[in-house]
Amino acid sequence: MGKKILVFGATKYVGRHLVLRLQALGHRVRAADPCLETMEACSWCDVELVIADALDPSSLVEAMEGMDVVYYLTAVSGVGHAPDHQIRQVEQNFRAAAAKTRVRHIIFLQPLSRVGQEDSVNFLESLGDATMTDLRVGPILGAESLLFEIVRILAHRHDYLSFLGRSLYSAMRPIALHDLMECLLRVMENPDLFGGKSFLVVGPENTSLESLVRSFTTLKGWCWQSKLIPVLTEEFLTQWLMAVAIPIEMIALMGYPVGETAGQAPFIHHLTALPLANCIDAMEIALMQERNRFSLAHWVEGIIPFHGYQVNSRAFSKRLGYTKETDVPIENLWTQVTSIGGGCGWYYQNWLWQLRGLMDLAAGGVGMTRGRPHPQDIRMGDTLDCYRVYAVEPGRRLTLAVEMRLPGMGFLEFELTPLGEQRSRISAVGYFQPSNILGTLYWNALVPIHDAVFKGLTHSIVERARVKNS
């Protein structure tokens, strides 16, 4: 009979893969996250959803009640890592909740970069009847993982590599995603063997970003050369990466420590006798999964993948938008969102949209002349002036892909969220991924205009919906 298992961080990159693995083994899974909508968007079957925050002791006790095993994965997320003071607070909350529930085993996954061991030793010794396993994981190498996205971008954009300096050769020990899943499962199945101990969860080989990029290009059959400029500071490196349009969240991975720097904890694969995949095998598996369109999660949750599933760049480094809460019913807001463009215009400063369309026409683009097939109904694939409808979730989300001539790729997304019977929230967000440094300059130059337009557009949608409701 399967165990009752609670997964904190179930909507994150590691968590979404783990939930399905646990279900396949016949376990009863409960997912915990502060946001119910995020869990519902995962479309799991037979997974119990609970709203809980590990920083809220009362919700933690309720979520853990009746569980046999608890995974805490939130400390390792796609975008950087949780601050140390938050992790310490979570540890204290787990200690208190474990004393009030019948949980028998807590598996705590933390980033390898959190090298201090003293807190974890105290934590391991003060959980009462429950046992706890502390796992320190290195960079994860799998389809759409943070490290894999960095390697992909650098392999496609050789000009960036010259400016990475010594960070290009910083040592790391990545672990394949499927090996990490196997380690998490074996720890859960053998609490007597792994309980009350700390382990390092890393791959079998020391490598570097330069080596990974070189291996990636070999797998793709490309020629690759880099010229090292070794005199740059970390501050200059960060600013350069931001300037050339690498998402800022990726920068945190540079200089990831090697396993030996994380204290005296043993390597978990020495105890499991698990044969670990090397980096080349892990990337081959990731590429195969992408060719088969197998994608459970992305390192940034809620990300919009590129139109046409282009794998040369899969993350947006630029994002700007505006959010407003209102007492207008969400149905009225959705009517106005789906009526935008065409004969109705763009509600706010429509002359600016038309001017931008004329500029695009002069450059050989589509401009704003295409209109829309229907004044109210909207379907995926429809044209909408200079946009094409990329995705529609009725009553919740409308995503438009920009088809103007741009030095990059952009999307405009409207999202509606119910906040109760009488309140709702609407957001208008623009996403952009520059194709080169000119794209970054283009985006930065238009930030003041986009900021004003998104704010005005959101307010105009709300006011039009309020008038229709009165």
- Whether residues 388 and 250 share a domain: the answer is no
User: Would you say residue 313 lies in a domain?
Assistant: no
Q: Which token pair is 216?
A: 């990636």
The predicted structure's pLDDT at residue 151: 82
Is 31 in the same domain as 170?
yes
- Asked if the structure places residue 349 within a domain, the reply is yes
- In a 3-state reduction of DSSP, which class is residue 8? strand
346 and 277 share one domain: no
Nearest to 18 by CA among 76, 80, 71: 71
Structural tokens at position 387? 């946009």
386 and 459 together in one domain: yes
In a domain, 432, yes or no: yes
Are 89 and 232 in a shared domain? yes
pLDDT (0 to 100) of residue 236: 56
Q: What is the pLDDT of residue 301?
A: 39
CATH number reported for the structural domain that contains residue 89 in this entry: 3.40.50.720
pLDDT at 88 (0 to 100): 74
Q: Which helix (H) or strand (E) holds 199?
A: strand 197-201
Count Cα atoms within 13 angstroms, Cβ side, for 366: 14
In a domain, 216, yes or no: yes
Tell me, yes or no, whether 75 and 152 share the same domain.
yes
CA atoms of 57 and 61, how far apart (whole Å): 6
My answer on whether 23 and 125 are in the same domain is: yes
Q: What is the DSSP string of 204-222?
A: SS-EEHHHHHHHHHHHHT-
Residues 105 and 203 in one domain: yes
What single string gives the DSSP state of each residue in 287-341? HHHHHTT--S--SSTT--PPTT---S-----EEEEEEEEESS-HHHHHHHHHT-S
Question: Please, what is the Cα angle at 212 between 207 and 218, to 5 degrees?
Answer: 130
Which contiguous run of DSSP H or E holds residue 50?
Answer: strand 48-51
Does one domain contain both 275 and 368? no
| Signed CA dihedral, 92, 96, 97, 101: sign only | positive
- SS3 (DSSP) at 201: strand
Please check whether residue 303 lies inside any domain of the structure: no
Domain identity same for 275 and 322: no
Instruction: Please report whether residue 297 resides in a domain.
Output: no
Listed residue (306, 311, 298, 317) closest to 246, CA to CA: 317
pLDDT digits (tens, 9 = 90+) for 254-277: 444 443 444 456 777 767 777 888
Judge whether 51 and 30 are in contact, CB under 8 Å: no
Rounded to a whole number of angstroms, the CA Rg of the chain reads 24
Number of domains in the chain: 2
- Name residue 31's beta-bridge partners: 7, 49
- How far apart, in whole angstroms, are the C-alpha atoms of residue 164 and residue 177? 26
Distances (CA, A) of 191 to 6, 69, 121: 16, 10, 17
Pair type for strands 48-51 and 28-33: parallel
d(CA 149, CA 154): 9
- Contact (Cβ atoms closer than 8 angstroms) between residue 180 and residue 140: yes
Same domain (yes/no): 65, 202: yes
CA 99 to centroid of chain Cα atoms: 33
Q: Write down the pLDDT at residue 307.
A: 35
213 Cβ contact list (under 8 Å, min separation 6) = 151, 154, 155, 161, 224, 226
Statement to judge: residues 221 and 100 lie in one domain: yes
Answer whether 31's CB lies under 8 Å from 44's CB.
yes
In a domain, 123, yes or no: yes
pLDDT reported for residue 310: 39
Task: Give the pLDDT confidence score for residue 305 in this predicted structure.
Answer: 39
Quote the domain boundaries for residue 98. Answer: 4-291
Domain presence at residue 323: yes
Q: How far apart are CA 332 and CA 334, in angstroms?
A: 5
pTM for the complete prediction? 0.66
Task: Enumerate residues 6+ apart whose C-beta is below 8 A from 357.
Answer: 367, 368, 369, 385, 386, 404
Among 409, 406, 411, 410, smallest CA distance to 442 is for: 406
The CATH number of whichever domain residue 378 belongs to comes to 3.30.530.20
pLDDT for res 9: 86
Helix boundaries (H) for 50-194: 57-64, 84-100, 118-124, 146-156, 158-161, 177-189, 191-194
* Residue ranges of the chain with per-residue pLDDT less than 70: 1, 75-86, 113-129, 157-169, 224-265, 270, 292-317, 470
108 bridge partner residues: 72, 134
Indicate the DSSP class of residue 342. Answer: G
